[in-house]
Amino acid sequence: MLHLTLFLFFGTICVAGAINLLVQRHPINSALSLVVVMASLAAEYLLLGAEFVAAVQVIVYAGAIMVLFVFVIMLLNAGEEARSGGSRIAILVGVPGVVIGAVLVAWVLLHTDTSQGLAIGALPGGPVPIAMLLFHDFLLPFEVTSILILIAIMGAVVLASRPEAGARRKESSAPPEETRELVAAGKDH
């Protein structure tokens, strides 16, 4: 009972944050509601016993990635989103799609076996067993992801650097415009 109450509490916060992300028109509000979604998801992970995943969720997702997002939003001075007219096709396809999806979800929910469920801490996922898996069975994927991260860092640096930065460095070896003009003026006299 306690588990179900906690699940519903954090699940409601999670869904409310996700819907708020859609409703808000300013990107900074969307980013902050995404932080709420991620924090409540970390609580859901804790309920399932995944302690390590919950900690990483808070540190990496709610910490590092969201800081990156907020930084870019503030760097680019992103303003409110412009409204665009809705299309007829979206309504024609979307409304039946939503109805079909809702019927499917309701059917699945009515026909599922709810007698057996997941208890609090159903599978203890502390750092030690995760590390044993990660550095034994998944050693090769782990090393490959480290290479992926390295390539991503280099790609981000290359993409975000100004294209004219290299050209400007070459120009700086030649004397600046002003001194050249002064030299030319001196020759005239």
Partner 1 sequence: MVPLSYYLLLSGILFVCGVLGFLLKRNIITIFMSIELMLNGVNLSFVAFAAHWQRLSGQVFVFFVMVVAAAEAAVGLAIIIAVYRTRETLNVDQVNLLKL
Please pick, from the candidates 141, 143, 175, 179, the single residue that binds partner 1 as defined by CB under 8 A.
Answer: 141
Shortest CB 184 distance to partner 1, Å: 35
Q: How far is the CB of 22 from partner 1 (least distance, A)?
A: 5
99 near partner 1, rule: CB under 8 A: no
Chosen residue from 145, 179, 180, 183 binding partner 1 by CB under 8 A: 145
Give CA–CA dist 148/151, Å, rounded. 5
Please tell me the distance from the alpha carbon of residue 79 to that of residue 81, in angstroms, as a whole number: 6
| Interface with partner 1, residue 108, by CB under 8 A | yes
13 binds partner 1, rule: CB under 8 A? no
Query: Distance between CA atoms of 89 and 33, rounded to whole angstroms?
Result: 30
Structure token pair of residue 86: 């809705």
Residue from 99, 103, 139, 153 in contact with partner 1 (CB under 8 A): 153
Binding to partner 1 (CB under 8 A) within 34-93 occurs at: 34, 37-38, 41, 44-45, 47-50, 52-53, 56-57, 60-61, 64-65, 68-69, 72-73, 75-76, 78, 81-82, 84
- Give the interface size with partner 1 as a residue count (CB under 8 A): 74
Q: Are 41 and 16 in contact (CB under 8 A)?
A: no
DSSP 83-98: P-PPPHHHHHHHHHHH
Burial (CB < 10 A; 0-12, 13-18, 19+), residue 176, is exposed
